[in-house]
Amino acid sequence: MEPRFKKVTIVGMGFMGASLGLAVKKAKLAREVCGLGRNMDRLKKARSIGAADTVTVDIKSAVTGAELVVISLPVMMIPVMFREIKPFLTKDTPVTDMGSVKGNVCEKTAMFDTNGQFTGSHPVVGGEKTGAASARAELYRGGVCIVAGSSKAKSKSAKAVEGFWKALGMKVMYMTPQKHDAVMAGVSHLPHMAAFALVNANEENVRKKKDAIGTGFKSMTRIAASGGEIWSEIFLMNKREIMKQADRYMAQLGRIRTMVEKSDINGIKKYIEHSKKLRESLDK
């Protein structure tokens, strides 16, 4: 059977991009996976692990002939990269991304997207890993991918992008870019902020009391080992929603702190039992 795509181009061969290349090859979705990047040594490493068939630093040759382009770059770069690849796309080539922010990304990309080729995506997988060396073919399978757009009037691009993620074994959810950013500010961006702050607040213990640090602290701060470049851009590209979430979170912390100060043991117990029930509902 012929693969669905003759050529899929992945722009950016970091952890997410290289994992995508491995996944596409494994699912036999494309005859050729082409990896575009800026550093030939790193690109060759990605190719050597099987994340791409061809690699290049040349935009034109990377994109020419591609039947799908996936931009796997930090969020601020996505609209810029779209503008750079656009001259080499046919007017029907679907383009998507994997960024953690959708409102700002879709809005800025739309300024250059005269043919409606771009559909925003956010595969809700990954974690704190960086670099092609950590890439895994199974990263996407079984996960959820949020596609930013209306679930009713799907564009040609949106249909192609949805089919692509489904072919990789993902469950696709549609959300407007704005809804996506509001939800992710709460369930992903805020937790990262909380983890960064938690590690910083414990700098002395981390340096001097390593042995006393148990699995609770470690699993809670695992995501604090995420990359600064990626996450500083996410924070600024989703600034308004993240500030809203930070305020909500500090208000909640203030609530518990006040109950502790007042020795309100029943209030604290109720608060914790409520958290417990909510958290347990996620494992069902």
Question: Closer CB to a second copy, residue 1 or residue 212?
Answer: 212
Residue count of the chain: 284
- DSSP letter assigned to residue 223: G
Residue 253 within binding range of a second copy, rule CB under 8 A: yes
Question: Closer CB to a second copy, residue 11 or residue 242?
Answer: 242
- Minimum separation from the CB atom of position 238 to a second copy (A): 9
Nearest to 238 by CA among 176, 196, 173, 182: 182
Contact range with a second copy by CB under 8 A, out of 21-29, 113-121, 154-162, 254-262: 254-262
Alpha-carbon gap, residue 158 to 77, rounded angstroms? 21
- Residue with structure tokens 């990269």? 81
Restricted to residues 14-33, the positions that interact with a second copy (CB under 8 A) are none
Q: Which amino acid is at 280?
A: E
Restricted to residues 143-162, the positions that interact with a second copy (CB under 8 A) are 143-144, 146
Question: Closer CB to a second copy, residue 88 or residue 217?
Answer: 217
Size, binding site for a second copy by CB under 8 A: 96
Q: Which amino acid is at 122?
A: H
| CA–centroid distance for 148 within its chain | 13
* Ramachandran assignment for 101, one of left (phi > 0), alpha (psi -120 to 50 degrees), beta (any other): beta
- Minimum separation from the CB atom of position 150 to a second copy (A): 17
Residue 40 within binding range of a second copy, rule CB under 8 A: no
Question: Closer CB to a second copy, residue 92 or residue 247?
Answer: 247
| Contact pick of 38, 41, 152, 282 for a second copy (by CB under 8 A) | 282
- Which residues, in sequence order, are CB contacts of 143 under 8 Å at separation 6+? 123, 124, 125, 170, 171
- Minimum separation from the CB atom of position 145 to a second copy (A): 10
Q: Which amino acid is at 254?
A: G
Contact range with a second copy by CB under 8 A, out of 57-65, 104-112, 157-165, 243-251: 243-251
Question: Are 117 and 89 in contact, with CB atoms under 8 Å apart?
Answer: yes
- Minimum separation from the CB atom of position 232 to a second copy (A): 4
- Minimum separation from the CB atom of position 55 to a second copy (A): 27
Q: Mark 202-241 with x for binding to a second copy (rule: CB under 8 A) and - for no binding.
A: xxxxxx-xxxxxxxxxxxxxxxxxxxxx-xxx-xx--x--
In the chain, % helix, strand, coil (3-state, to 5) comes to: 55, 15, 30
Alpha-carbon gap, residue 229 to 224, rounded angstroms? 13
- Minimum separation from the CB atom of position 258 to a second copy (A): 10
Phi, psi of 58 (to 5 degrees): -100, 115
| Contact pick of 72, 109, 121, 188 for a second copy (by CB under 8 A) | 188
